[in-house]
Amino acid sequence: MMPETDSILVVEDEAGTRATLSAILEDAGYEVTGLEKGTEARKMIRSHSFNVIITDIRLPDVGGLEILELAKEINPDVAVIMMTGYASIETAVNAVNEGAYAYFVKPVNPDEIKTTITNALKQQRLSLENKRLVESLQRSNKLLFEANEELKKATQAKSEFLASMSHELRTPLNVIIGFSELMRDKVPGKINEEQRQCLSDILDSSHRLLNLVNEVLDLSKVESGKMEFKLENVALTEVIESLTRTMLPVLAPRKQSLDIEIEEGLPAVHVDEGRLEQVLLNLATNSSKFTPDGGKLKIEAVRNGDWCQVSVIDNGIGIKEEDQERIFEPFCWLDNPLTKEKSGTGLGLALVETIVEKYGGRIWVESEYGKGSRFTFTLPLAITD
Ligand code: ADP
């Protein structure tokens, strides 16, 4: 610790020089201790704290360099200034190389030494301030790291809880769906129109709930690292062709078209085929859902370096700029002016983003409100050449 008032030790065997220098520095407001001998100085350095030590290089008992060494060992921040006659300039230069702040050739110019001391003290304060800042930064970093670790554990626990809860919910839900279907199909006996309508409502809600439970399960599984990804080389053309078949019953009643444009010679992608189908189906279903009847949908795939860039495009309702970021957050869904009732879980895009990021890819949206949207995601190519 540095003392409150800047304190200076002057070690000089020549009484006149010592007295003059001490007087000048005291006048300048410093607390000055003047000593004649190197041995005394060594004792004093061990028991007191100084900001600056001014020492003659040639003392009768101990050399100035030894004083420098001891002072630096005890307090690396102390500024040691050497005084020397012309004969010892070389030693003084060595002293600077060894860590002395400066050296002066006697007779010392009072203004010069005062300026040097002022600069040394400024530097000392800056260095102390720096150290304090670094220490405080290190402390904050440590706290941040610990908080992050806690957060990771909590997120993991949340994902595991959701995964197991969703799993448990699916079994009774499937029983409800199964028996409702049996009753609707009149297997246990006849039902009237009102009962049929009730069963149909039960089934609609159960399917919606099952969809939500499945998406929560998927999302928490990916997040907790429990979802297995079987990576293989997959031909994108085949996946997209199969998607067009799956989408047909969704698109046909609404008279929506789906165009496919795949760059010629596009290499295979290295992904889990099932997850890729899930991503494409999610995006294509959204495009259809948020596009009026008779609208146009398109899937484009191009190569971009070692990546394949797939876009799912529609000329539907579009997304306002302020909503474009947040639609990827879990449970974010916006009103669909095309359908009055609330549909969807707000989990689809969150799941899609999590899956794409698992492959090291990314997903983004470009959209103009009222004109349509383009969702683009990247997938690693199977070969790199
Ligand atoms: P949801 O199950 O509600 O579709 P998503 O996470 O898939 O959940 O989508 C979140 C929201 O993003 C949707 O509610 C919708 O407002 C918006 N959105 C997604 N895709 C499109 C699209 N192609 N056109 C317009 N809005 C879209």
Residue 359 DSSP label: T
Residues of each domain in the chain carrying CATH 3.30.565.10: 232-380
Distance CA 162, CA 296 (A): 37
The alpha carbon of 177 and the centre of ligand 1 are apart by a number of angstroms equal to 26
Q: Is the pLDDT of residue 3 over 60?
A: no
* 312 has a pLDDT exceeding 60: yes
> For residue 335, is pLDDT > 80?
no
Ranges for all domains in the chain classified under CATH 1.10.287: 146-223
pLDDT number for residue 1: 47
Q: Which CATH architecture has domain 7-108?
A: 3-Layer(aba) Sandwich (3.40)
Cβ of 287 below 6 Å from ligand 1: yes
Topology (CATH) of 232-380: Heat Shock Protein 90 (3.30.565)
Specify the domain boundaries for CATH 3.40.50.2300 within the chain. Answer: 7-108
From the CA of 286, how far away is ligand 1's center (Å)? 6
**Domain 146-223 fold:** Helix Hairpins (1.10.287)
Read off the pTM: 0.62
Burial class (CB in 10 A: 0-12, 13-18, 19+), 348: buried
* 267-305 tens-digit pLDDT: 999 999 999 999 999 999 999 999 999 999 999 999 999
- Atom of ligand 1 minimally distant from the CA of 314: 23
Question: Alpha-carbon torsion 55, 58, 59, 65, what sign?
Answer: positive
Q: Whose CA is nearest to atom 4 of ligand 1?
A: 344
